Amino acid sequence: MSEITPYQIAIEQLERAARIAEIDPQAIEILKHPQRVIRVSIPVRMDNGSIKVFTGYRSQHNNALGPYKGGVRYHPNVTMDEVIALSMWMTWKVSLAGLPLGGGKGGVAVNPKELSKGELERLTRGYVRAIAPFIGPDVDVPAPDVGTDAQVMAWFLDEYEKVVRATRKGVVTSKPVELGGSLGRIYSTGYGVAVITREAVKEFLEEKSPEELTVAIQGYGNVGSYTAIFLHEMGFKIVAVSDSKGGIYSKDGLDPKKVLEHKKKTRSVVGYKEAKTITNKELLELDVDILIPAALENVITSENMKNIKAKLIVEGANGPTTPEAEEYLFKEKKSLVVPDFLANAGGVIVSFFEQVQNWTWTQWSEDEVKRRLEAQMITAFKKVVDEWNRLDKKVVLRDAAMSIAVRRVADAMKLRGWY
Ligand code: GLU
């Protein structure tokens, strides 16, 4: 398979935005390169007594607007190329959301499902010791991503505080609430995806109500499962969901909470009794109104774009659609892709709320978090729609969103005298 790499995609998207928004080429030249990429080796004592060495990365793409911010991914396919692309996408995400933050991302090439809890803890602590000199609450603030969760963040915080011999709650976000995490952070990405889907339906599929619309969701981890739960609450019919082991379909609609219970018990959505089994490929090509890829990058590509039937695609994952496929869907099928860095910004927005709470030693109520998150997502969505209208709806939504995001970073760099 010779699909283009995530970094190549990120560069292509940036170049398109530069043309459309007429951004100074000097700023674009700077933005094509991450400011710093750290590559570390992490020796871990395995349960059987042997030592295994894992490779980890942290890419700090741009901090013109504030400290680098972005998750840490544990996945066997993690590469430096991917981590750099993901860090660029974080720069656009925090910029579009109007946050005073920059873009960063980390990753370790490992399959966390194959590690024991003890091995996972030792790996996390080793990764933290290796990158500790380069991070901090006002320098670079990691968070979870694919394959990591609040427990990993708890070990992260503990190890970092041991290294610096001080309390530094704000070094990482999406911590357990007991350790300074924000209420609502656990479901914030999924809630944000659901809010953006609802807004996008109002804007682009206006004649339809949620009850008349069918949804398929690829991925049933933190993002996919909560997206399904909130969309279901809003009245949408979730007809298919999947995970890495396969998918399930029910034309009458699934109960997302029951599917989650099933997944917790059996580690997969497959086998859920009130549905028929389908493949991930079939899920993407289902005849549904709304498709939400919420797993990994590069799933809607030149290979399957002709078979995609959904009129609205909302990117819960980072980078699921290649530029070629996005352009094809827009031009040939009149389908719209709501880009990742708009649709899935709910996670990092509540991460920022967590940082604010940590800096001020306060705890906001869950209602306040949800209310502020929703308002911030809707503001970002409206900005993108306005820009898209200004561009006469001639470009993909991502181009409009990128124009806003890149311009804000370029302006900050200009004021700082970087070009
Ligand atoms: N990993 C999430 C993302 O891709 C969250 C990042 C964060 O909270 O810093 O947006």
What's 208's domain CATH number?
3.40.50.720
Q: Are 413 and 30 in contact (CB under 8 A)?
A: yes
Same domain, 265 and 329: yes
Q: Among 281, 340, 303, which residue's Cα sits nearest to residue 2?
A: 303
For residues 295 and 334, membership in a common domain is answered with yes
Q: Is 24 exposed, middle or buried (0-12, 13-18, 19+ CB in 10 A)?
A: middle
Residues 6 or more apart whose CB falls under 8 angstroms from that of 78 comprise: 57, 107, 108, 109, 110
Q: What is the end-to-end Cα distance of the chain in Å, rounded? A: 39
What whole-number distance in Å separates Cα of residue 224 and Cα of residue 328?
A: 25
Q: Whole-angstrom Cα distance, residue 191 to residue 267? A: 23
Give dist(CA 8, CA 258) in Å, integer: 40
Secondary structure of residue 337 in the 3-state scheme: strand
CA–centroid distance, 274 to ligand 1, in Å, is 33
Apex 64 CA angle, 61 and 68, nearest 5: 45
Whether 150 and 192 map to the same domain: the answer is no
- For 251, other C-beta atoms within 10 Å of its C-beta total 10
What is the count of structural domains for the chain? 2
State both tokens at 160: 């970092």
Q: Which amino acid is at 280?
A: N
- Looking at the structure, tell me whether residues 56 and 161 fall in a common domain: yes
Q: How many CB atoms lie within 10 A of CB 20?
A: 17
Answer for the pair 137, 316: CB distance below 8 angstroms, yes or no.
no
User: What amino acid occupies position 56?
Assistant: G
Give the whole-number percent of the chain exceeding pLDDT 90.
Answer: 97
Per-residue pLDDT in tens (0 to 9) along the chain, 419 residues: 457 899 999 999 999 999 999 999 999 999 999 999 999 999 999 999 999 999 999 999 999 999 999 999 999 999 999 999 999 999 999 999 999 999 999 999 999 999 999 999 999 999 999 999 999 999 999 999 999 999 999 999 999 999 999 999 999 999 999 999 999 999 999 999 999 999 999 999 977 888 899 999 999 999 999 999 999 999 999 999 999 999 999 999 999 999 999 999 999 999 999 899 999 999 999 999 999 999 999 999 999 999 999 999 999 999 999 999 999 999 999 999 999 999 999 999 999 999 999 999 999 999 999 999 999 999 999 999 999 999 999 999 999 999 999 999 999 999 999 99
Pairing of strands 51-62, 102-109: antiparallel
Q: Is residue 271 part of a domain?
A: yes
Tell me, what's the pLDDT at 4?
86
What span, in angstroms and rounded, lies between the C-alpha atoms of 419 and 410? 9
The confidence score (pLDDT) of residue 2 equals 52
| Atom in ligand 1 nearest the alpha carbon of residue 70 | 9
Same domain flag for 192 and 163: no
What is the number of the ligand 1 atom nearest to the C-alpha of 351?
8
Of 256, 319, 249, nearest to 277 by C-alpha is 249
User: CA 272 from chain center: how many Å?
Assistant: 27
Helix axes 366-390 and 185-204, enclosed angle (nearest 10): 40
Only one residue has tokens 């993002």, namely 223
Q: What angle do CA 385, 389, 390 make, to 5 degrees?
A: 115
For residues 206 and 318, membership in a common domain is answered with yes
User: Residue 108: inside a domain, yes or no?
Assistant: yes
**Which residues share a beta bridge with 309?**
none
Last residue of a domain, one of 318, 340, 362: 340
User: Do residues 200 and 156 share a domain?
Assistant: no
Q: Is 305 a domain residue?
A: yes
CA of 152 to the centre of ligand 1 (A): 14
Which of 139, 169, 199 is the C-terminal boundary of a domain? 169
Amino acid at 105: K
Ligand 1 pocket test, candidate residues 73, 90, 222, 296, most atoms within 8 A of CB: 90
CA 93 to ligand 1: nearest atom: 10
- 346 C-alpha to center of ligand 1: Å? 8
Query: In this structure, what token pair is assigned to residue 8?
Result: 């190549």
Choosing from 135, 169, 203, the residue where a domain stops is: 169
Q: Are 23 and 17 in contact (CB under 8 A)?
A: yes
Q: Ligand 1 pocket check: which of 69, 145, 377 to mutate, most ligand atoms within 8 Å of Cβ? A: 145
Site residues for ligand 1, CB cut-off 6 Å: 69-71, 93, 143, 145, 173-174, 318, 344, 347-348, 351
Do residues 157 and 38 both lie within one domain? yes
Judge whether 383 lies within some domain. Answer: no
Same structural domain for residues 241 and 108?
A: no
Q: Are strands 51-62 and 36-45 parallel, antiparallel or unpaired?
A: antiparallel
| Strand order across the beta sheet in which 312-314 lies | 276-278, 246-249, 237-243, 214-218, 290-293, 312-314, 336-338
The pLDDT score that the predictor gives to residue 1 is 45
Together in a domain, 150 and 194:
no
Domain that holds residue 124: 34-169
Quote the pTM value. 0.97
Residue to substitute in 69, 222, 348 for testing ligand 1 pocket (most ligand atoms within 8 angstroms of CB): 348
Amino acid at 84: I
- In a domain, residue 199? The reply is yes
Please identify every residue annotated as catalytic: 105
Same domain, 270 and 149: no
Q: How far apart are CA 281 and CA 278, in angstroms?
A: 8
Amino acid at 149: D
In a domain, 191, yes or no: yes
The answer to the question of residue 139 being in a domain is: yes
For residue 144, the CA-to-ligand 1 centroid distance in Å is 6
Can you give the CATH number for the domain in which 130 is found?
Answer: 3.40.50.10860
Torsion of CA 190, 196, 199, 204, to 10 degrees: -120
Residues 143 and 236 in one domain: no
In a domain, 147, yes or no: yes
